Amino acid sequence: MKGSVDEITKNDNVIARLEQWPRMARFYRNCFYNTLETTTEVLDDGTAFVFTGDIPAMWLRDSSAQVRHYIPLAAGDDRYRQIIEGLIRRQMSYIRIDPYANAFNKEPNNQGHKGDLTEGSPWVWERKYEIDSLCYPIQLAYLYWQATGRTELFDDAFKETVNAIIGLWTAEQKHEEWSPYRFQRLNCPESDTLKNEGLGTPTAYTGMTWSAFRPSDDACAYHYLIPSNMFAVVALRYVQRIALDVYGDEALEAAAGKLCGEIDAGIRAYGIFKHHQFGDIYAYETDGLGRYNLMDDANVPSLLSIPYMGYAPADDPIYRNTRRFILSRENPYYYEGKAAKGIGSPHTPSGYIWHIGLTMQALTSDDDEEIRELLAMIVSTDAGEGFMHEGFHADNPAEYTRPWFAWANSLFGELIYKLVEGKKQHLFPSEA
């Protein structure tokens, strides 16, 4: 879609407003349009396939995050509408094929991880079950509807998919008793497989819904993943609105509301930990049996991203306590080095900070000085390439993982767009 992008950028008023910041204009141009230029394909059936970058498969999570920043532009541009609506239709069709899968092929070509001990499909690239994989398409559809007023997406197939998601999340409230899902990968790191013959570590009923893997695609230590359960609450609230305002379906609204209330009550009862230094904070994971995992991971949904995903406002007292914890050395995946400080992930080597984490920190901050510092940090750790990476070494940004990671590019493009639209260019690093 190169020609189409060149045409769009000629009339991009954000670029026009970045004349005094040519380096930031380059980052914006590179990152904001990276998905449109490199990872998007509109197919003959009108759907859109959005792959993650250096891997040829489409993740439900990544593909949603890769186009979210285009939503404000969709009301006035058919090209964005075609991509977003086409993507959502394809996502929903994939979920109907296998709601436990996290990544899919463009066609049923049997590519991907085929040695895993789990139910297979030629459409499925990988079948690591992650709650957020089902949240992201719902959120994308809802935000798109709110921005454009278009309801064509909400057809019978969309409703069927949503009902399947509610059924799955309900079954996973009692995973050991009700779930059909099992997953094992042989001859791999522990983070790539589930213990207990693919069932996962034990849990007790909490009202929350179980997740096998984190948004990083790493296995959960304890399977009630708090940020992903928060995202499920947000998604179910969206379903309630869609059920009443679009479908006029009180039964769907009631089912979504009931499950939403149970999960949220579980978060409140089991997901909050009284920390000796920071007070009440949200745990990253728990099992309902008294064990907690206190950490945060740069992948979204994260505890850092709570206001961004819409679960609680940035001034929520427990969120503020949690934010102080995860941006401190008490978080085992917070790193400080010569070039940067921020959140990384157990998915990448120790000492590696993620651009997604730095960008999310800025997107959820109400402190101009913090945002200014983060912007300077982000643009100075690109290894001179003008694009984001996955993780980079805190002392040496030239050491990085994944040279092509469209999600990270999209998120940073969204940050620049929001700052310019909010008339906050004064926070950009000086280029004198």
pLDDT digits (tens, 9 = 90+) for 298-345: 999 999 999 999 999 999 999 999 999 999 999 999 999 999 999 999
pLDDT for the residue 9 = 73
Is pLDDT of 404 > 90?
A: no
Residues 217 and 347 sit within 8 Å (Cβ to Cβ): yes
Residues 374 and 362 sit within 8 Å (Cβ to Cβ): yes
> One-letter amino acid identity for 266?
G
Q: Which two tokens stand for residue 6?
A: 């060149």
Residues 250 and 240 sit within 8 Å (Cβ to Cβ): no
State whether the Cα torsion 365-370-375-380 is positive or negative.
Answer: negative
Q: DSSP letters along 316-363, please?
A: -HHHHHHHHHHTSTTSTTEEE-SS-EEE--TTS-TTEEEHHHHHHHHH
Is pLDDT of 85 > 90?
A: yes
Helix (H, G, I), strand (E, B) or coil at 256: helix
Distance, in Å, from the CA atom of 400 to the CA atom of 362, rounded to the nearest integer, reads: 21
Burial class of residue 233, CB neighbours in 10 A (0-12, 13-18, 19+)? buried
End-to-end CA distance of the chain: 35
pLDDT for the residue 296 = 98
Distance, in Å, from the CA atom of 263 to the CA atom of 268, rounded to the nearest integer, reads: 9
**Taking the model in full, what pTM does it have?**
0.97
Domains of the chain: 33-332 (1.50.10.10)
